[in-house]
Amino acid sequence: MDVILFLIFAVVAVVCAINVVVQTHPISSALSLVGVMGSLAVLYLLLGAEFIAAAQVIVYAGAIMVLFVFVIMLLNAGAETKKGRSYLIPGAPLLIVFLGLMAYYVQRYLFPESAVVRFGGFTGGGPKDIGNALFTTYLLPFEVTSILILVAIIGAVVLARKEIE
Amino acid sequence: MELLDSFIFITLIKAAVVLAVLLTTLAYLQWVERKVIAHVQVRPGPYRVGPHGLLQPVADIVKLLTKEDLLPPYVNKPLYLLAPFLAISMALLSISVIPFGPEIKVGPVTTWMQLTDLNIGVLFILAVSSMGVYGIALAGWASNNKYALIGGLRSSAQMISYELPMSLAIAAPLLISNTLSLRELVMSQAGGIFHWNILHGPFPQIISFIIFMIAAFAETNRVPFDLPEAENELVAGFHTEYSSMKFASFFMAEYANMITVSAMATLLFLGGWMAPWPVAWGANLVPTVIFAIAGVTALYHGANPARKRDKLTLPVFGIIFLIIAGVFLLPIVQSWLLPLFWFAAKTGAILFLFMWVRATLPRFRYDQLMGFTWKFLFPVAMLNLLVTSFLVAWTTK
Amino acid sequence: MMNAVPISWFLTLSAILFALGVAGFLFRRNIITVFMSIELMLNAVNLSFVTFSYQHKEVSGHLFTFFVMVVAAAEAAVGLAIILTVFKGRSTLNIDDVNSMKH
């Protein structure tokens, strides 16, 4: 059952990711990326990361990608016109092969044979555990990211405002 | 027996029941809204189609189903067809985690009156409502129409901006209840009206409730925040180019979102399906009393009605109400009917508030609306969360 | 066996998604698509983090994922604001056309 779920959502993720890279119109790429994020959220649930799965949908798919979709709609970006040679067709499979080989060697020499993922194998990913770790061990990065967000807000507001003539 | 006990079978039955009740409620919620707005404006409302207009939703459904389903040639077809599907599926998905009552025994099966209980239930509802923004933004974009695009962009910007104070207003009672699971949220408010989160603990969550309601009005695109879909502003906003069943999907999605946020307000602040005072003081008699008063009033007015048509319908309604009042006294149904009554009464009161506000208030201009959330509501929500967390930390050992 | 997925499959999926992200970043000309390829790479890395967190049965991997998401949000906001500004000046989203300061 877990294997079937993993295979379905892994295939959906890879197909949507290929779609992101291959589509000409940015809005199709953006919606495919939302598909990738949704399938990754299900895979996080399989790995017992329930808070991260919810945060992925709320923050990544529900806010960041909506921002992307807004900008695409506002700029009225059309489909990309072909200019010059595209190295995508030979390049992407080469990259996949290269990284796939690296992943294979990493997993072959680093993992014991019995490393498997079962749904329910790890129950320490709930909001309580995340909250505990976030406010004790990782308190300093948490505060620093709040300053980071503040800086990003100010930067975005300053960059995107209209100049008063 | 094995089949009856299996999780999948029970959940399928529950899902079918919830879906049937929900879709009927969606259709009749529109009837209730039209009647409420009409009576606020001192006119009868839908009256002729069936007794007191009760068959009006049926007539509306027949009309929407049989209307011509246009597919304009200039729209972006995949996105045009995807948008109402996204809107309605996200709206219906969030009902799946809402608890309607406690654990009940139906024949040989013991089950909770809830489709499924996630231990991140509140986050699930927030996530699903974030995804609902896509339906509206894509509808505006795919329609290839200036008015629809502006309406879609405005509506989605409004929904995202109001998600912030809503999330902060949700976080405050969660600090008091100490759980994200909706079932345990209700269980932590047991014990009468002073244990409900709105009046509970170190800091009564009245400000959170008000902020949540205001944000809920904006999330569901209801008056006073319905500029993006107002009829006299932008033709019809993001659903200008939609007709027949696709338009009905957006409509149903809006009402389903209303039901979801009302249910969330009930679960978070008003104690879910818990009675306001203990059973020992007669909480089980309240529905009987209410329906009995309604039945007697209907019978009394049926004696000399204002309109000739009511000479038959009002007494019939009176008798039906009295029968329902009697049903609430049977002990065999009390275990599941009473919590359901309390949940429906509280959610219904908040839905009535939605309709009352629609009948009464004018709408905000778009810049007023956005200024209101970023400059007032968000800081107030943050302050409220700060005060709540300080008081909870101070009083917890 | 049907109930257990080998951990290496998750890492392979992460590698494939990362490779696709790199391919999109290197070979596409539209700036917004390049940006989305960056987000794809970040998502692939998030999957790796969560997988390793499962393997060691610790919650620290989830926290790293959380911080990556926060940084991605900040980066998306500022990056899209920069794209808007560049678009206002040059009316093109093709990065080949933005190859000199003079316009």
Cis status, amide bond into A112, omega within 30 of 0 = no
In a domain, C75, yes or no: yes
Give the tens place of pLDDT for each residue, B191-200.
888 888 888 8
Q: What is the pLDDT of residue B17?
A: 92
Min CA distance, C102 vs chain A (Å)?
A: 20
Residue B366 has pLDDT above 90, yes or no: no
Min CA distance, A86 vs chain B (Å)?
A: 27
Q: What is the pLDDT of residue C72?
A: 95
User: Which of B89, B180, B386, B389 is the best substitution to test chain A (most A C-beta atoms within 10 A)?
Assistant: B180
In a domain, C16, yes or no: no
Phi, psi of B48 (to 5 degrees): -95, -25
Does residue B4 or residue B184 have the better pLDDT?
B184
Q: Cβ of A27 and B180 within 8 Å?
A: no
In a domain, C40, yes or no: yes
Q: Which residue of chain B is at minimal alpha-carbon distance from A41?
A: B127
| Confidence band, pLDDT 50/70/90 cuts, at residue B4 | low
- In this complex, is the C-beta atom of A127 within 8 Å of any C-beta atom belonging to chain B? yes
Give the tens place of pLDDT for each residue, A132-164.
999 999 999 999 999 999 999 999 989 888 776
User: Which of C30, C34, C71, C97 is the best substitution to test chain A (most A C-beta atoms within 10 A)?
Assistant: C30
Q: Which residues of B fall within a CB distance of 8 Å from A73? A: 137, 140-141, 149, 152-153
Window from A111-115, B58-62, C8-12 with minimum mean pLDDT: A111-115
Q: What is the pLDDT of residue B282?
A: 78
B253 near B132, Cβ under 8 Å? yes
Please give the model's pTM, rounded to 2 decimal places. 0.92
- Average pLDDT, rounded, for chain B: 87
- Tens-digit pLDDT profile for chain C (103 aa)? 567 888 888 888 998 999 999 989 988 888 999 999 999 999 999 999 999 999 888 899 999 999 999 999 999 999 999 998 888 888 888 888 888 877 6
| Confidence band, pLDDT 50/70/90 cuts, at residue B155 | confident
| Confidence band, pLDDT 50/70/90 cuts, at residue B283 | confident
% of chain A at pLDDT higher than 90:
54
Residue B48 has pLDDT above 80, yes or no: yes
Q: Which residue of chain C is at minimal alpha-carbon distance from A146?
A: C70
Contact pairs from chain A to chain C, CB under 8 Å: 257
In a domain, C63, yes or no: yes
Helix (H) or strand (E) holding B12: helix B7-40
d(CA B154, CA B237): 9
Min CA distance, A8 vs chain C (Å)?
A: 12
Measuring CA to CA, which residue among B147, A98, A112 is closest to residue C26?
A98
B284 near B224, Cβ under 8 Å? no
Helix (H) or strand (E) holding C6: strand C5-6
d(CA B275, CA B262): 17
Q: Which residues pair with C30 in a beta bridge?
A: C94
Min CA distance, B220 vs chain A (Å)?
A: 16
Q: Cβ of C73 and A133 within 8 Å?
A: no
Min CA distance, B133 vs chain A (Å)?
A: 8
**B123: nearest CB among A27, A31, A58:** A58
d(CA B338, CA B277): 13
In a domain, C58, yes or no: yes
Q: Which residues of A fall within a CB distance of 8 Å from B153? A: 70, 73-74
Place of tokens 């109930």: C3
Give the tens place of pLDDT for each residue, B116-133.
888 899 999 999 999 999
In a domain, C59, yes or no: yes
Q: What is the pLDDT of residue B178?
A: 87
Q: What is the pLDDT of residue B235?
A: 62
| Confidence band, pLDDT 50/70/90 cuts, at residue A55 | very high
| Confidence band, pLDDT 50/70/90 cuts, at residue B51 | confident
Q: What is the pLDDT of residue A106?
A: 75
Min CA distance, A120 vs chain B (Å)?
A: 13
Q: What is the pLDDT of residue A85?
A: 64
| Confidence band, pLDDT 50/70/90 cuts, at residue A113 | low
For chain B, which residues make up each domain, given as ranges?
Answer: 2-274+330-395
B197: exposed, middle or buried (Cβ count in 10 Å: 0-12, 13-18, 19+):
buried
Task: Please count the structural domains in chain C.
Answer: 1
DSSP output for A51-116: HHHHHIIIIIIIIIHHHHHHHHHHHT--PPPP-S---HHHHHHHHHHHHHHHHHHHHHHHS-TT-E
Q: Which domain holds residue C68?
A: 29-95
Q: What is the pLDDT of residue B124?
A: 94
Rg (CA), chain B: 22
Q: Cβ of A117 and C5 within 8 Å?
A: yes
Q: Cβ of A62 and B157 within 8 Å?
A: no
| Confidence band, pLDDT 50/70/90 cuts, at residue B231 | low
Mean pLDDT of B13-39: 92
Q: Which residues of A fall within a CB distance of 8 Å from B156? A: 66, 70
Q: What is the pLDDT of residue A78?
A: 74
Chain A partners (3+ C-beta pairs within 8 A) = B, C
Q: Cβ of B141 and A27 within 8 Å?
A: yes
Residue B277 has pLDDT above 90, yes or no: no
Q: What is the pLDDT of residue B76?
A: 82
Q: Cβ of A57 and B130 within 8 Å?
A: yes
In a domain, C6, yes or no: no
CATH code for the domain of C69: 1.10.287.3510
Helix (H/G/I), strand (E/B), else coil: B101 = strand
User: Which of C42, C53, C66 is the best substitution to test chain A (most A C-beta atoms within 10 A)?
Assistant: C66
**Which token pair is C72?**
């991605």
Neighbour count for residue B381 (Cβ, 10 Å) = 26
Cα angle for residues A109, A113, A119 (degrees, 5° grid):
120
Window from B239-243, B247-251, B309-313 with minimum mean pLDDT: B239-243
- Average pLDDT, rounded, for chain A: 87
Q: What is the pLDDT of residue B6?
A: 78
Q: CA B236 → CA A76, B149, B243, distances in Å?
A: 22, 11, 12
End-to-end Cα spacing for chain C: 62
